[in-house]
Each structure stands twice: as structure tokens, then as C-alpha cells.
């Protein structure tokens, strides 16, 4: 077989044998038809088995696994490479798990990142590591995209402000602000009290305005731990007082200071 129709208990089945050995049965969760060896029940379909399945590395839900490990755990597309054995780069011989082809640079076989990026520059306009494409009228060596605008400041199509380009449709600040919103949405599922969620949201918005969206996004998990303690310890916001906080945080966890955001 070039490719098995199914693999069960380490045994591979071709399409004909799969249909003969695996009988259709209803999924006990959604009711959709699935197949099990000999029609064994109770059974779950592939979609239901994948619900709530965490990535073995990052812990995120992974309904579509990029890699299935020997112990049955799965890895998402971003983390799958971390479970693969490092291979030697055919150019420099360095072991790496980040081997990739680059046909534009003439690499038809997977090579390491260092070999792929030889000759690249950090573009003085956008700050990205790119191939040099030409020289602007003021003498700066820039990448292809910045050469088209002759190195002029880039205006973000999303917010209309001048900034560094993250992609063709948004600047870096817009990207990180969207990241803050996405991470806030993920954190919302872990909070039970609405007033805690509102307080945490206001705090993160003000923090992003003060220190920048990128720094705020990277620090979000750290600050969330404090609000998670409030969620678990207090029923109402009026109960959160300087005298009550040491009881749930411990005196070592309490520092008398002024909030960096003023919130």
C-alpha cells in the first residue's frame, strides 16, 4: 500500500479490508456514522475524538493534528517540528529541525535557516531580514517592498498611521493589538466573574496604550495570574481591599506600589 485507509492497534488496512473489517456505527456524542472494528460500541467519530485535544507542547486545542506521537498525543502545525529528529543541513552540515527549501535562492533541497539567509540584510526601512533588492535615492540598501516606495515611511492601511510594516495590510502595532484581543478572548473562558473580566480587559487596554501593544501581549499571561486569584477568592469587587489581598496572595505576593497604567 502506498497509503493505508486506516491504522488501528499498529495494523494498517487497505480501503477494501477497512470496509470489510470496520462496521458503521453511530457516534455516541453527535450521532453521525463512524466505523469501528467489528462494529464495536460505544464509539466516537474522528471529529468528536478531536474536540478538546491539547497539543503535547503548547497545550492549545488541536482538532487537526500535524503529528501523532507514539503515545497517542498530538502536536499542532506550529509545534510538530519540535518532535522531529534534527537533520544535518546538506550545505553546512549543522544539525537543525528548521530545514526548508528556498527555490528563489537556489536551494532545491531543505537547508538550515543560516544557509537560507546568507546575504540577507536587515532592511533599514521596515526592519525585516530580507534579500537586498536595490538602493533608494538617499543611498540606503533596502528590500523589494521598500524599494517600491523608495524608502518612504509606510502608512498602515488598517489604522492610517505611519509605522513599521508587519504585512501588506497592517502595521506591527495593529498586529500586536489584535494579538492582545485574541489572548483576552482566550483568557475570558478561564474567568467566572464578569467584574474580574471587565477589570482585566480595562487593565490590558490601558497597559497597551502605555507600554505598547507588543509588550502588553507578551506580558498578558503574567498579569492574568493576579486576576485569576481575584476570580477565585472574591465574590464582589468591593471585597478586594488592601487588608484582604494578603490573605489570598500572601504578604510576599503583595507590593505596595502605584499601578503603571493608573488603573
Spell out the per-residue pLDDT of the chain, length 263, in tens. Answer: 888 888 887 788 998 898 889 999 998 888 888 889 888 888 888 888 777 788 888 888 888 888 888 777 888 888 888 888 888 998 898 888 888 888 877 888 889 988 888 888 998 888 888 889 899 999 999 988 888 888 888 888 988 888 888 888 888 889 999 999 988 888 888 888 999 989 999 999 999 989 989 999 999 988 898 888 888 888 898 888 878 877 777 656 565 544 444 44
Distance CA 47, CA 32 (A): 10
Which grid cell sits at 23? Answer: 462496521
- ∠ CA 78-80-85 to the nearest 5 degrees? 135
CA end-to-end span of the chain, whole Å?
64
CA dihedral (102, 103, 106, 108) positive or negative: positive
What is this structure's pTM? Answer: 0.55
Nearest Cα to Cα of residue 240 among 255, 229, 256, 253: 229
Amino acid at each position: 500500500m502506498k497509503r493505508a485507509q486506516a491504522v488501528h492497534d499498529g495494523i494498517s488496512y487497505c480501503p477494501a479490508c477497512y470496509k470489510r473489517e470496520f462496521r458503521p456505527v453511530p457516534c455516541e456524542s453527535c450521532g453521525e456514522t463512524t466505523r469501528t472494528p467489528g462494529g464495536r460500541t460505544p464509539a466516537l467519530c474522528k471529529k468528536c475524538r478531536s474536540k478538546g485535544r491539547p497539543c503535547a507542547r503548547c497545550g492549545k486545542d488541536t482538532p487537526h493534528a500535524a503529528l501523532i506521537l507514539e503515545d497517542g498525543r498530538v502536536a499542532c502545525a506550529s509545534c510538530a517540528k519540535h518532535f522531529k529528529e534534527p537533520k544535518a543541513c546538506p550545505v553546512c552540515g549543522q544539525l537543525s529541525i528548521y530545514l526548508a527549501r528556498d527555490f528563489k535562492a537556489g536551494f532545491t533541497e531543505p537547508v538550515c535557516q543560516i544557509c537560507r539567509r546568507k546575504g540577507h540584510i536587515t532592511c533599514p526601512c521596515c526592519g525585516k531580514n530580507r534579500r537586498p533588492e536595490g538602493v533608494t535615492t538617499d543611498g540606503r540598501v533596502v528590500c523589494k517592498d521598500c524599494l517600491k516606495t523608495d524608502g518612504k515611511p509606510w502608512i498602515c492601511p488598517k489604522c492610517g498611521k505611519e509605522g513599521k510594516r508587519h504585512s501588506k495590510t497592517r502595521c506591527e502595532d495593529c498586529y500586536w493589538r489584535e494579538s492582545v484581543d485574541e489572548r483576552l478572548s482566550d483568557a475570558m473562558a478561564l474567568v467566572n466573574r464578569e467584574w474580574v473580566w471587565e477589570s482585566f480587559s480595562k487593565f490590558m487596554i490601558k497597559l497597551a496604550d502605555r507600554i505598547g501593544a507588543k509588550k502588553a501581549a507578551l506580558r498578558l499571561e503574567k498579569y492574568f495570574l493576579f486576576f485569576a486569584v481575584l476570580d477565585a477568592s472574591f465574590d464582589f469587587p468591593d471585597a478586594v481591599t488592601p487588608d484582604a489581598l494578603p490573605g489570598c496572595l500572601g504578604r510576599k505576593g503583595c507590593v505596595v506600589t502605584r499601578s503603571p497604567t493608573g488603573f
